[in-house]
Amino acid sequence: MTLVANAPVDGFTILEAPGGVEVHLQRTGKYKSVYVQWVLERSLDGRRAAFALLPDLLTRGTRTSPGLARMAARCEDLYATELHSSVAAHGPAQLLRFGLQCISDRLADGRPLVRDAVALLAEVLHDPPLLDGRFRDEVLDQERTNLVHAIEGIADDKGLYAYRRMIEAMHAGTPRALHSWGTVELAQALDEPAVRAAWTEAGQRLPARLFIVGDVSEETALLAAQALAGGTSHGAPAGPLPPPSLPARPVQRLHERQPLNQSKLAMGFRIPAELLPGAAATLFGLVYGGESHSRLFKRVREKESLAYGCSAAVSIDNATLVVQSGVDAVSAARTQELVLEELARLARDGVGDEEIELSRRAQRRRLRNLKDSPRGLLAFRLSGLMNGRAWSLDQALEELERVTPAEVAAVAAGCELDTVFLLEGTRT
């Protein structure tokens, strides 16, 4: 088998597996475990609920190990290998992740454990326990019910609910407004042919990337990609997803009342795409509302005691600054005023040496902590690849050190308020 690789970057080597799948391998003996993650990418659309069902549906069992109990026994036989799966949105894309964590071969008494664990994951992807070529009704019914309950449960987290309502209004009419799980109506309408069609597409056609961290050879990594691809040609994703360009428009203000003790405020600001490259936008988010040293924490919570919490974060994939706060209903209007005042002051007067250094130190710590978290490292790498930003920790750290106060102030100056959602609590 031919190995096609570029030079190692940040400890990773990029290989091209048969079928065009992109393999990111960090070969290291630093960990006792090996981490494998197979990531499928597709556009968020009206079929998203069918694909959202797959991670939990497929990991319930395989043809040779049907059912949760048999799967648990199979994993235990593989030295307590852990399988994991999830679905999430990244900008306009829906990501399906299937992965595993197993101990390194060097600790498995001579057994090729990574190969065997990957073989199980390949079974999960390509060989479920079908009945006459169909998913079993009782299993499908249970997972469909679980998905409906998960979607309904979003409304129980009031901070998340307010954030979702704001994002849905801000990015209305685009995939970025959609939740990766779909809606209750989409989930309830799922039938077996729709789910089976999604499974076929995921297993045979969706663009894929494979990430591996651990003591694994290049040959083993390529064989893993071949097994997980199931002998089909998935290919790699097309490339970075461009950030959205929302039109200038009057501020949208949405309001809802519920019987709550605490109101939830979510504010969304547009950020021009040209301000997103590099680390300035991320550092701005920390200066403005990232931690206890930030402008919003000091002004809204500490100085004026208007909110139980007030934070800000930059979403690179959606080109959005999001400010969230838990407030008393009577304080909501004043809190909004202070959020805008502090943003304008930051843009006008710039950033102080101490606050930019505290923010730089916080981001430096976050990035360095990823070196001890394989899952976090892989998530960072994937996000960078999809956004067209730094996907090497070393590159990200270098960019962080080069950011100037003027660049941070420029991001603040470029933010434009777009949407405000207030979930007003009405005490009963």
279 and 179, same domain (yes or no): no
316 and 390, same domain (yes or no): yes
57 and 179, same domain (yes or no): yes
374 and 415, same domain (yes or no): yes
On whether the CB atoms of residues 412 and 323 are closer than 8 A, the answer is no
Dig out the tokens for 173 from the structure: 């009419």
Residue 237 belongs to some domain of the structure: no
Domain with 331 in it: 252-425
Rounded CA gap, 295 and 158, in Å? 24
277 and 392, same domain (yes or no): yes
Rg (CA), the chain: 23
Largest CA distance in the chain: 69
Residue 190 belongs to some domain of the structure: yes
94 and 37, same domain (yes or no): yes
On whether the CB atoms of residues 419 and 166 are closer than 8 A, the answer is yes
On whether the CB atoms of residues 90 and 237 are closer than 8 A, the answer is no
Pairing of strands 208-214, 22-27: parallel
DSSP letters spanning 124-146: HHH----BTTB--HHHHHHHHHH
155 and 101, same domain (yes or no): yes
Residue 317 belongs to some domain of the structure: yes
According to DSSP, residue 330 is labeled: G
pLDDT 10s digit of each residue in the chain, 428 long? 444 444 444 689 999 998 889 999 999 999 999 999 999 999 999 999 999 999 999 999 999 999 999 999 999 999 999 999 999 999 999 999 999 999 999 999 989 999 999 999 999 999 999 999 999 999 999 999 999 999 999 999 999 999 999 999 999 999 999 999 999 999 999 999 999 999 999 999 999 999 999 999 999 999 999 999 998 889 888 889 888 888 889 999 999 999 988 899 999 999 999 999 889 999 999 999 988 888 998 888 878 887 778 899 999 999 999 999 998 888 899 999 999 999 999 999 999 999 999 999 999 999 999 988 999 999 999 999 999 888 889 999 999 999 999 999 999 999 999 999 999 988 65
Residue 78 belongs to some domain of the structure: yes
276 and 373, same domain (yes or no): yes
The domain tally of the chain equals 2
224 and 259, same domain (yes or no): no
Residue with tokens 């609910």: 161
3-state secondary structure at position 241: coil
Measured CA distances, 415 to 216, 250, 271, 293, 409 (Å): 45, 14, 5, 21, 10
Dig out the tokens for 366 from the structure: 């976050």
pLDDT value at residue 10 = 67
Rounded CA gap, 13 and 5, in Å? 6
262 and 339, same domain (yes or no): yes
On whether the CB atoms of residues 300 and 345 are closer than 8 A, the answer is no
Which of 418, 411, 417, 414 is closest to 282 using CA atoms?
411
7, exposed or middle or buried, with CB in 10 Å at 0-12, 13-18, 19+? exposed
266 and 161, same domain (yes or no): no
State the pTM of this model: 0.92
Residue 243 belongs to some domain of the structure: no
213 and 283, same domain (yes or no): no
pLDDT value at residue 341 = 95
Domain C-terminal end among 181, 214, 229: 229
Residue 331 belongs to some domain of the structure: yes
Residue 239 belongs to some domain of the structure: no
Residue 5 belongs to some domain of the structure: no
CATH code where residue 384 lies: 3.30.830.10
Rounded CA gap, 342 and 339, in Å? 5
